[in-house]
């Protein structure tokens, strides 16, 4: 989520049941920065993206977490309306090159200050690099509404061909002039059975052991049989 905080304010924020998994705080300017809070019973890895960050231009942080059978990489981004778009695009591509893997589902969220409710050149420029990773905007409703306009400058981007079961909704709040976007993913739950299974280990050591045991078997019943079918059955029985 986008969070208008500085370093001092960040150190005093505490959400019950959650921990700050990753963040970028502004040092030179106000009203910016990003932070990801993670439920404290989930295991995650903080991805250090600080070398790509530049205040107003490209502010980002990321985590990787595994929920049941799903590997998810969450990237949060903020770009100021005055932030250089070329710098934003270049570093967005660098981050995606770093984090992209077929084994992981990438979800980008945040405020990039580009209206996705209209056709515009900035939207096209952002979509071009995202399409290389099959990432698509999924917010198609206004996220910031005032007396004169309504825009969707906050967004989620993900691969909807791999994550098909999702629901994104708007939750109005009194803390910001932006509405909250809630993304719900339907994740299949793995059911663990109490039944045990016996499996034969097959590797170079067990194969050598198998050949040794074969050499010590008595094969007289196979070679002494006159009937081919009897020979095969005797061999298989042994």
Q: d(Cα 27, Cα 6) in Å, to the nearest integer?
A: 7
228 found inside a domain: yes
pLDDT value for 115: 95
**How many structural domains comprise the chain?**
2
Mean pLDDT of all residues in the chain?
87
Instruction: Specify whether 114 is located in the same domain as 169.
Output: yes
191 found inside a domain: no
In this structure, what CATH number is given to the domain that contains residue 147? 3.60.10.10
**Host domain of residue 141:** 7-185
Instruction: Specify whether 24 is located in the same domain as 105.
Output: yes
Question: What digits encode the pLDDT tens for the residues 59-112?
Answer: 999 999 988 778 999 999 999 999 999 999 999 999 999 999 999 999 999 999
Residue 192 above 80 pLDDT? no
Instruction: Specify whether 163 is located in the same domain as 228.
Output: no
196 found inside a domain: no
The 3 state secondary structure assigned to the chain is CECCCEHHHHCCCCCCCEEEEEEECECCCCCCCEEEEEECCCCEEEECCHHHCECCCEEEEEEEEEECCEEEEEEEEECCCCCCHHHHHHHHHHHHHHHCCCCCEEEEEEECCCCCCCCCHHHHHHHHHHHCCCCEECCCCCCEECCCCEECCEEEEECCCCCCCEEEEEECCCCCCECEEEEEECCCCCCCCCCCCCCCCCCHHHHHHHHHHHHCCCCHHHHCCCCHHHHHHHHHHC
192 found inside a domain: no
Instruction: Specify whether 48 is located in the same domain as 141.
Output: yes
39 found inside a domain: yes
> Taking the model in full, what pTM does it have?
0.73
141 found inside a domain: yes
CB-count burial class (<10 Å; 0-12, 13-18, 19+) for 82: exposed
174 found inside a domain: yes
Instruction: Specify whether 178 is located in the same domain as 217.
Output: no
Question: What digits encode the pLDDT tens for the residues 7-48?
Answer: 445 555 778 899 999 999 988 888 788 999 999 999 999 999
CA dihedral (193, 196, 200, 204) positive or negative: positive
41 found inside a domain: yes
Instruction: Specify whether 20 is located in the same domain as 133.
Output: yes
pLDDT band at 55 (very low <50, low <70, confident <90, very high): very high
Residue among 77, 86, 142 nearest 108 (CA): 77
Instruction: Specify whether 71 is located in the same domain as 167.
Output: yes
């Amino acid at each position: 989520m986008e969070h208008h905080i500085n370093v001092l304010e960040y150190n005093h924020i505490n959400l019950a049941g959650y921990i700050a998994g990753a963040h970028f705080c502004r040092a030179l300017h106000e009203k910016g920065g990003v932070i990801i809070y993670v439920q404290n019973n989930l295991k995650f890895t903080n991805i250090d993206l600080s070398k790509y960050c530049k205040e107003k231009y490209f502010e980002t942080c990321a985590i990787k977490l595994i929920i049941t059978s799903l590997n998810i990489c969450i990237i949060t981004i903020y770009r100021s309306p005055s932030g250089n778009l070329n710098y934003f695009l270049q570093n967005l591509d660098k981050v995606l090159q770093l984090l992209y893997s077929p084994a992981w589902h990438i979800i980008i969220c945040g405020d990039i200050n580009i209206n996705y409710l209209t056709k515009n050149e900035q939207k096209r420029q952002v979509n071009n690099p995202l399409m290389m990773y099959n990432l698509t905007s999924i917010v198609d409703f206004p996220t910031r509404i005032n007396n004169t306009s309504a825009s969707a400058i906050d967004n989620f981007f993900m691969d909807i061909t791999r994550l098909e079961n999702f629901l994104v909704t708007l939750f109005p709040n009194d803390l910001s002039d932006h509405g909250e976007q809630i993304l719900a993913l339907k994740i299949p739950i793995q059911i663990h059975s109490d039944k045990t299974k016996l499996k034969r280990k097959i590797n170079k050591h067990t194969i050598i052991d198998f050949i040794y045991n074969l050499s010590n078997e008595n094969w007289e019943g196979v070679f002494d049989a006159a009937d081919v079918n009897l020979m095969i059955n005797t061999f298989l029985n042994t």
